[in-house]
Amino acid sequence: MSATDPTFDLDGQPVPLQPGDTILSAAARAGHEVPHLCWSEEVSGSASCRLCTVLADGRPVAACVTPAVAGQKVECRTPSLDTQRLRLLQMLFVEGNHFCPGCEKSGNCVLQVQAERAGMTDLHFEALNPERPVDASHPDVLFEPNRCILCQLCVRASDEIDGKRVFAIGGHGIATRLLIDSPSGRLGDSALSVDDRAAHICPVGALLPKRVGFAVPIGQRRFDTEDTRG
Amino acid sequence: MDTRPLETAADPKGLRRIAIDPLSRVEGHGKVTLLLDDDNRVRQARLHIVEFRGFEKFIEGRPYWEVPVMVQRLCGIYPVSHHLAASKALDRVAGGWPVPPAADRIRRLMHYGQIVQSHALHFFHLASPDLLFGFDAEVDRRNIVGVAGAFPDAARQGVMLRKFGQEVIRITSGKRIHGTGAIPGGMNRAVDPAERDALRAELPQVLAWAQDAVTLARRLHENLPARYADFADTPAAMMSLVGRDGAMELYDGVLRLRESDGRIAVDGFDDQCYRELIDEAVKPWTYMKFPYRRDLGVDDGWYRVGPLARVQNCDFIPTPRAEAARQAFVAAHGGQPVHTVLATHWARMIELLHGVETVAALLDDALITGGPLQAEGPRQRSGIGMIEAPRGTLIHEYEVGDDDLVTRCNLIVSTTHNNQAMNEAVRAVALRYLDGETITEGLLNHIEVAVRAYDPCLSCATHALGQMPLAVSVRAADGRVLDHVLRSSTGELLRDGPAHDAEAAQ
C-alpha cells in the first residue's frame, strides 16, 4: 500500500480499496472482521442479516452491499452497534430451534461463532419454539428448517453459481421461509445435487450433506481454537 | 423377607391412580411413598420416578448420525455410555459393524475411562459419606466436603481418580464431557501420542489409588454396624454382558443371566436378540418401566444389573489385580451369591480397578494412535447397541427410514433394569428399619442409602454432593396423608409442604 492508494477509515485503521469493493469485501481482504452471517465472497451481497451494519460517515448501512468510498469514516465496533448485533443474533436464535449441543454444525457454525464473539450468554427474548418438519427427502442433502436463518446464501449460490434456482424466499414477516422449487416443495424432488455449491454454503446447520455428521473431531473444526477443550 | 405385598396395599381405599403413556427414560428426581395402617405398619412402599423426559420421542425424526451426540444429553454422569451404545447400534445401521480394530480400541479406552470416572464419582462423592460417617450421622457432614475435612486422603484420591478417567475421555472424544469421538461406523479421531504419554506417566499412582479404593470399600463394608449386616438383602437374578469366555466384558459381549442362587440360567445370548429374553412392563404409578424375563413373567422375572451383578456373573476378570480382588470378594462371602446392596460399593471399586488396568493396557496398544478408523457397508434399517454402563446394562435400539431419519427408538437404561430391584430394596429397608417408627431424617437416609447403591444418576442429577431431594408421604390405609416429609436439595427437612403433583393426583 502506497501513500497514494485510496483508503477508507475503519475504526481508526486505514483500509485499502479497489474498484467495485464494498465496505465488507475491502475490510475482509485486509483482514478486518466485520461481523456477518449472509455474506460470502462467492456470491453477490444481499443485506439479509444486517449483522454487518456499520456507520458510514455516521449513516447506518449494510457493509456487505455498500460501496466503499475513499476517505470515508466507517465505524464498526461501537457499543451501540455491538448491542444491536447481539439483539439481532438473539432474535435469530429465538425464531428458530438452535440447539448447539446436539447439532453437527457446532464448531463450524457461523451463527454460533458470531454469537460467541458478540458475548451472547442468553436468549434475551422469549423462544418461539416453531414446529418445522425436517425435509430428509433428498438422498444426499438434509434440509433442517429449524436452523434456517433466511440468509439466502443457498438462494444466491443456486442461482449464481449452480445456475439452478432451486431456492427462493417466500412468505412475509415471521412466516418468511425458504422455498424449494419442486413439484412437491420438497428437496428430494428438486434439481439440487449434493455436488452443488448451494448444498455446502449454508452458514448454519440448515442445509447439510447427509451422513457426514460429526466426522470432524473437536479441535479440527473451522472455528476451534487452542482453547477449544472441554 | 417377603416384600412383594408392599408394592400395592391390599385395600388402597382413597387412592386414586394415574396412568401415563408413553413412558420414557428418566434421570434424577426420586420419590418414595409409604402407606401405613393404623398401627404404623408399612402397607405399601414405592420408589417413584416422577420426571418425564421423553428422549425416545424427540430422537424420532432426527438424522441417525446426529443421535450418538444428542443422546449423551440424557446424562451428565455417564454420557459416554449413551454415546457408545448409540454408536454401536448405528454402526449397524450405517453398515459399519464391526468397526476397524483401531476404532474398537479407542472406543474401549473411552468406555473404560468412563467406568473409572463414574465409579469414582459415585463411591467417593456420593456414597462414601454414608459409609464413612454412618447413615444417620449429622446431615451437614454427610457430603463430600465433610469427607474432605475428615478423610482428606480418601477425598483427594476420589477426585484424582475421577480426573484421570475424565482425561481418558477427553483424549478420545475431544472433551471431558459430551464429546464427539464415536460416529456410526467408527471414530473421528485417534489418540495423540503426547496425550497418551501424559496419561501413561500417571498410571503407577492411579493404579495404587484404585487398589486403595478397593481396600477402603472392603473395609467400610466389613466394618458396617451389625444391624446393617442384612441391609436391603434382596436376592435377585443377575444380568450382564460377559465375554464369550465368561470374562468380565463391559464394551461388547454376550448376555448372561444368573439365578439368585448362582446357577447360570442363560448364557452366550446374542445381544441383538435381547427382545426374546426380556420385555418391559408398565405400572401406572411411575414413569419408569419394569423390565422382566419373558420366561418368568412380570411378577417373578425381575433381575439386577450393575457392579454387584457383573462381579458375580462373570467367571473371571481379565486383569490381574481386579481378578485378585474379585476372588477376595467371593471368598469373603464364602462363595455364596451376595445380594445385600451395600456390597455393590465393594464390587464397584473392583470394577474401577479393572477399569484402570484396562486403560493401562489400552494405552500400551499402538493401535490407538492411528490406522483406519471407519468401516462402511450396506445400509441397514435397524440396529441394537448394548454396553455395560457403570450402572449396568444399557440398551439402545433404533429403526431408521430410507430417508435416514430415526423412526423408532427404544432405550433401556441401567436404572430401568434395576427398577424392581430398587423398589424391593426400598421395601426391605422400610420393613426392617421404618416399620412402626416415627420417620426421622436418619431413617429417610436409610432409604436413600439403598437407592444410592444402585443409581448414581438418581443420586446425582437431583442431589448434588449427597443431598437427594426426597419426598416421603405417610398415609393411613384410607389414603389420608398422616405425614409428608420433604428433604430439600439443601438437606432441609420440611413437613406440611405441598405434595408433588403426581403424588397429589393419587
Give the closest residue to B215 by CA, choosing from B298, B325, B77: B325
Which has more confidence, B129 or A83?
Answer: A83
Min CA distance, B119 vs chain A (Å)?
20
Q: How would you write the pLDDT of chain B (506 residues) with one tens digit per residue? A: 566 667 676 665 543 222 212 211 223 566 777 777 766 677 788 887 656 567 778 789 999 999 999 988 777 777 899 999 999 999 999 999 999 999 999 999 999 999 999 999 889 988 888 888 888 888 778 778 888 888 999 999 999 999 999 999 999 999 888 899 999 999 999 999 999 999 999 999 999 999 999 999 999 999 988 888 888 889 999 999 999 999 999 999 999 999 999 999 999 999 999 999 999 887 766 667 788 999 999 989 999 999 999 999 999 999 999 999 999 999 999 999 999 999 999 999 999 999 999 999 999 999 999 999 999 999 999 999 999 999 999 999 999 999 999 999 988 888 888 888 888 888 888 888 877 767 677 777 788 788 888 864 542 222 222 333 456 666 776 767 777 766 554 556 666 555 544 444 34
> Within a 10 A sphere around the Cβ of A184, how many other Cβ atoms?
11
Burial of B113 (0-12, 13-18, 19+ CB in 10 A): buried
Instruction: Identify the pLDDT of residue B35.
Output: 77
Pairing of strands A177-180, A167-170: antiparallel
Q: Is A109 on the interface with B (CB under 8 A)?
A: no
Instruction: Identify the pLDDT of residue B305.
Output: 95
Instruction: Identify the pLDDT of residue B15.
Output: 36
Contacts of A229 in chain B (CB under 8 A): 170, 174-175
Segment among A15-19, A209-213, B161-165, B494-498 with least mean pLDDT: B494-498
Q: List C-alpha distances in Å: A39 to A36, A198, B15, B155, B206.
A: 6, 14, 63, 53, 52
Who among B66, B68, B174 is closest to A219 (CB)? B174
> Using the 8-state DSSP alphabet, how is residue B404 labeled?
S
Who among A211, A218, A219 is closest to B65 (CB)? A211
pTM (2 d.p.): 0.88
Ranges assigned E (strand) in B124-194: 182-183, 186-187
Segment among A96-100, A145-149, B103-107, B408-412 with least mean pLDDT: B408-412
Instruction: Identify the pLDDT of residue B27.
Output: 36
Distance CA B46, CA B40 (A): 16
Instruction: Identify the pLDDT of residue B30.
Output: 67
Distance CA B156, CA B149 (A): 11
Do A24 and A35 touch, CB atoms closer than 8 A? Answer: no
Q: What is the mean pLDDT of chain A?
A: 95
Angle value at C-alpha B224, between B222 and B226, nearest 5 degrees: 105
Instruction: Identify the pLDDT of residue B490.
Output: 54
Q: Is B379 on the interface with A (CB under 8 A)?
A: no
Instruction: Identify the pLDDT of residue B495.
Output: 64
Distance CA A175, CA A131 (A): 12
Question: What three-state secondary structure class fits B292?
Answer: strand
From chain B residues 63-82, the ones with a CB under 8 A of any chain A CB are: 63, 65-66, 68-70, 73
Q: Is B386 on the interface with A (CB under 8 A)?
A: no
Distance CA B318, CA B115 (A): 16
* Cβ distance of B63 and A214 shorter than 8 Å: no
Q: Which helix H or strand E contains B503, and what residues bound it?
A: helix B501-504
Please report the number of interchain residue pairs, chain A to chain B, with beta-carbon separation below 8 angstroms: 71
Instruction: Identify the pLDDT of residue B229.
Output: 83
What is the greatest pairwise CA distance in chain A? 59
Instruction: Identify the pLDDT of residue A65.
Output: 97
Instruction: Identify the pLDDT of residue A2.
Output: 57
ipTM of this predicted structure: 0.93
- Count CA atoms within 13 Å of residue A27 on its CB side: 30
Q: Give the three cell numbers for residue B207.
A: 493404579
Instruction: Identify the pLDDT of residue A93.
Output: 97
| pLDDT tier, A3 (very low <50, low <70, confident <90, very high otherwise) | low
Distance CA B136, CA B437 (A): 15
Instruction: Identify the pLDDT of residue B51.
Output: 61
Distance CA B243, CA B313 (A): 11
Contacts of A136 in chain B (CB under 8 A): 63, 401, 403-405
| pLDDT at residue A44 is higher than 80 | yes
Instruction: Identify the pLDDT of residue B280.
Output: 86
> Can you tell me the mean pLDDT for A191-198?
98
Q: Is A129 on the interface with B (CB under 8 A)?
A: no
Gyration radius (Cα) of chain A, Å: 19
Instruction: Identify residue A17 by its one-letter amino acid code.
Output: L
Question: What three-state secondary structure class fits A96?
Answer: coil
Pairing of strands B254-258, B237-242: antiparallel
> Within a 10 A sphere around the Cβ of B450, how many other Cβ atoms?
27
Gyration radius (Cα) of chain B, Å: 22
Min CA distance, A222 vs chain B (Å)?
15
Q: Is B321 on the interface with A (CB under 8 A)?
A: no
